[in-house]
């Protein structure tokens, strides 16, 4: 149980990356006042939780409906998480997130930024959804572990909310160098977790 909790928490923290979302949040809420930013932050976290909870609870059932085995999804998900880690280590992920945010602002004129691009795909993106399904798969139908997964997801999203509400101080505190170091460190951790997912998938197949 301790291994499950620690692995799930680290995976969710790394894939959601609350500190890394701070500059993106500032970018997509440019021109908004403090109250508007708070509303956007709360709505984005609620939407992201609903999406991750849905895939955490029903993701494996959806895979069965599509005829995809969990071991195959573990391997594919591990490869996807490894690519995200590669992007983080070599500073490609931040650039892609910024491009997504800029596109959303141009097209939607800052309307519904809580749903897009904050909740989807910056928070509940492919990496986080994959992580939720993989972690739920490790729960093996245990209701207690599924409940823990939902609780950890809510906890990480509350951290995201706190980061959003304190975006300006966090950005100033980390600075350019701090953001680079933190992103690369989280990338290395995520790469190791991704390899473990792949190993688990191969072991299940064998």
pLDDT, tens only, 14-66: 889 888 787 778 767 766 777 888 888 999 999 999 999 999 998 878 878 88
Whether the pLDDT of residue 126 is over 60: the answer is yes
Summarised one tens digit per residue, pLDDT across range 63-108 is 788 888 778 877 887 888 788 778 777 766 555 555 555 555 444 4
CB of 4 within 8 A of CB of 138? yes
- Provide the percentage of residues in the chain whose pLDDT is more than 70: 84
Residue ranges of domains in the chain = 2-205
Q: By CB neighbour count within 10 A (0-12 exposed, 13-18 middle, 19+ buried), where does 206 fall? A: exposed
Number of residues that this document lists for the chain: 206
């Amino acid at each position: 149980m301790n291994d499950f909790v620690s692995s799930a928490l680290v995976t969710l923290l790394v894939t959601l990356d609350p500190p890394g979302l701070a500059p993106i949040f500032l970018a997509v809420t440019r021109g908004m006042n403090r109250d508007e930013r708070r509303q956007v932050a709360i709505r984005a976290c609620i939407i992201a939780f609903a999406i991750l909870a849905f895939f955490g609870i029903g993701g494996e059932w959806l895979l069965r409906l599509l005829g995809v085995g969990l071991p195959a999804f573990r391997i594919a998900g591990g490869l996807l998480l490894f690519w995200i880690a590669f992007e983080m280590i070599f500073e490609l992920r931040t650039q892609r997130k910024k491009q997504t945010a800029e596109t959303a602002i141009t097209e939607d004129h800052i309307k519904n930024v809580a749903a897009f691009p904050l909740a989807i795909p910056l928070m509940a993106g492919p990496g986080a959804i994959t992580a939720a399904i993989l972690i739920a798969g490790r729960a093996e139908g245990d209701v207690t572990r599924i409940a823990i997964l939902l609780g950890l997801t809510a906890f990480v999203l509350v951290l995201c909310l706190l980061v959003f509400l304190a975006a300006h101080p966090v950005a100033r505190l980390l600075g350019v160098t701090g953001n680079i170091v933190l992103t690369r460190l989280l990338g290395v951790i995520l790469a190791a977790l991704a390899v473990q997912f792949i190993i688990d998938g191969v072991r299940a197949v064998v």
